[in-house]
Structure 1
């Protein structure tokens, strides 16, 4: 790895506004997982309840991802992100009001989660695909690192703050803050003006097929996405859906769970700071080796459910997932043609998320049948094994970065 300049993307005015928008949005979203988890558990404490709500969000998210990728490449990524943010803010605001007023029930939460997934979906491939339009190509790692730094920094205090709100005045206030930040994030994108997308003359179906042919023909891309599909199912069904339940039934509790999530963010923060000035030469090799650490919290929750070891495992997992996320975005943004980028991201997100509802819905009943500790231990072990096995594939292990350019400009302007 070689040294790189850390703050140079902030000299680009469009990126500064985008960076501020994402930062404001993350203030709320870093609190919402803890708040949502305990809001659901307050309504229905069954082992499958949180998994049902999460799956209700994920299924429409997956269904509309591909359409979102095509729309973003055709009509402008920042406009798609703005619209998605406004709609998501409204839906999340309705949920927060219902929770605060005591009128929320499991069925309503499932319905609102489904609507939320549908409106968030188009914004995801646009959000990831917009970064190369805002900074020069040779600053992509720094730009993604700055975005990750904000997320990691806020994740340090977000889960603990949410846990404090849950214990003190209930989860509804954290959910309301989340809703407001989505609306503010949309407003902060207004100063950004990007060149309009160039019409291709193709139909949306033809562009969707073109994206699929590119995705299928790029071995490292589909191979990592396939592995992430299985790993995400294990992580969402295990750590996200069963983790709070396991914490709530043991000495860990809501407070310990919040501390563990903050420790995970501290690990991510440390990894981000290290990578802001060091160039990843083998982004997928480094990323997947580090990503295997994300299985540790599930193993600890299953075999040794105590606050101290969970905090250590969560810290290491934060390091691992942050190295992977940064390496993955750099690999995709540097190697996928710009006119294909949102569609590539939409297939990436589709493949990574399509199996998540299976994990969210299946692991709860499995935990009820075989024991939550046993299921979490097996899920964590499988996660580690799949990450390490994927590294063995030649196209993944060998993918290197292009040499740094002496001068470049944002892709949209070249």
Structure 2
């Protein structure tokens, strides 16, 4: 396995990267189409919010079950099934848009089906990716993988706007359904893992996954950090950022510049991590995550547009430095047959509070004032990061030395 090219250039890795990039292109275009499909049908902003929430709730509720399933069954087949569900959901969404019969409850149902598919696809994808890369090449493989996804996300969002304007939202939703079918087809060509473990009861397997998660202080402490960072990042940056841009800058145009710089930073960060191999994975990753506080601080300080764009660019770089180091740590430390359950607990902990952060950001700004709320969010992100960095388990975790094989294989 320790060949010169490394497993990260292997067939499974290439298939997974291609499938992920294709599906992200469609998934990044779809939100633009979804919003305008609802508005074109006479829906309100409330309807857009209901449909969006309908996609989030099933994902959160079923993440843990999705992790159990992905640790039981061949993960590439779990991904195929999830992509088929997403393809049916998006194709049905496109059909009601084409026939001008879209009703909010139907769109909520389609969004819920897609969210349910995410709950199973995400743990299976992460577990399969971990198995597809050689430990010695993991950082480079993860950096290239994330760079591809970030590039697809930027291109997909831009393409979505253009295609909705030219052909209407139904065409973009149909295209999204097609990308899921293509990604699913690529997954069928991956090497079969076989059944990874003997079946046990659902509760027993969840308990086993929880013991693995809770028994590693570095793991749950970083997840707790990101519960704070993601809640405030979504709330303060995604909700209050446009408000601050509208009050102090040139509105949507300047907000678009800030978002573009954030995306460019993530691409640059991924390219940077292709070359870098820090020895202390979390001691270098956690401070990089702290850079997410820069854009909220810049908005709170009423900074100029160039300063805001620079802050967003640096924050994007920090996101990727952390993300690649984090994925490398998980690849190194977590037993493969338990990884999908760990990924599910991680996702639930890291993103479970994000909807609450988005929902409370506006009322907090109304009560405390926009600038004060942004400063509070900045302080909380920094405090959570410093607290986690103070833990010896986090500071001392090192990259494993190069070896000829992986003892968990």
Q: Same fold judged by TM-score > 0.5? A: yes
Q: Could you tell me how far apart the structure 1 residues matched to 2:58 and 2:160 are?
A: 26
Alpha carbon RMSD of aligned pairs, Å?
Answer: 3.2
Provide closer, same or farther for how the CA distance between residues 342 and 391 of structure 1 changes in structure 2, counting only shifts above 3 A.
same
Say if 1:294 and 1:321, in contact at 8 Å, map to a contact too: yes
Point out where structure 2 has 5 or more consecutive residues left out of the alignment.
none
Point out where structure 1 has 5 or more consecutive residues left out of the alignment.
none
| 1:408 equivalent among 396, 402, 405 | 405
Provide closer, same or farther for how the CA distance between residues 321 and 40 of structure 1 changes in structure 2, counting only shifts above 3 A.
farther
| 1:225 equivalent among 216, 223, 226 | 223
The match for 2:293 is 295
Q: Could you tell me how far apart the structure 2 residues matched to 1:180 and 1:310 are?
A: 37
**1:91 has 2:89 as partner:** yes
The match for 2:121 is 123
Q: Could you tell me how far apart the structure 2 residues matched to 1:248 and 1:177 are?
A: 33
Q: Could you tell me how far apart the structure 2 residues matched to 1:250 and 1:45 are?
A: 27
Q: How does 1:358-373 map to 2 (within 5 A)?
A: 358-372=356-370
Q: Could you tell me how far apart the structure 1 residues matched to 2:303 and 2:205 are?
A: 49
Provide closer, same or farther for how the CA distance between residues 64 and 20 of structure 1 changes in structure 2, counting only shifts above 3 A.
same
The match for 2:276 is 278
Provide closer, same or farther for how the CA distance between residues 159 and 166 of structure 1 changes in structure 2, counting only shifts above 3 A.
same
CA displacement, residues 123-169 of structure 1 (integer Å, 9 cap, x when unaligned): 11111111232232222212211211202323443444445556666
Q: TM-score, normalised by structure 2?
A: 0.86
Q: How does 1:338-353 map to 2 (within 5 A)?
A: 338-353=336-351
CA displacement, residues 71-121 of structure 1 (integer Å, 9 cap, x when unaligned): 001011111111112212332344455567666576655444333222210
Q: TM-score, normalised by structure 1?
A: 0.85
The match for 1:149 is 147
How far off its partner does 1:328 sit? 0.9
CA displacement, residues 155-202 of structure 1 (integer Å, 9 cap, x when unaligned): 443444445556666666554443332222111111112231244252
Say if 2:67 and 2:124, in contact at 8 Å, map to a contact too: yes
Q: Could you tell me how far apart the structure 2 residues matched to 1:379 and 1:39 are?
A: 33
Provide closer, same or farther for how the CA distance between residues 115 and 145 of structure 1 changes in structure 2, counting only shifts above 3 A.
same
Aligned length: 406
How far off its partner does 1:379 sit? 2.5
Say if 1:52 and 1:110, in contact at 8 Å, map to a contact too: yes
Higher mean displacement: 23-32 or 285-294: 23-32
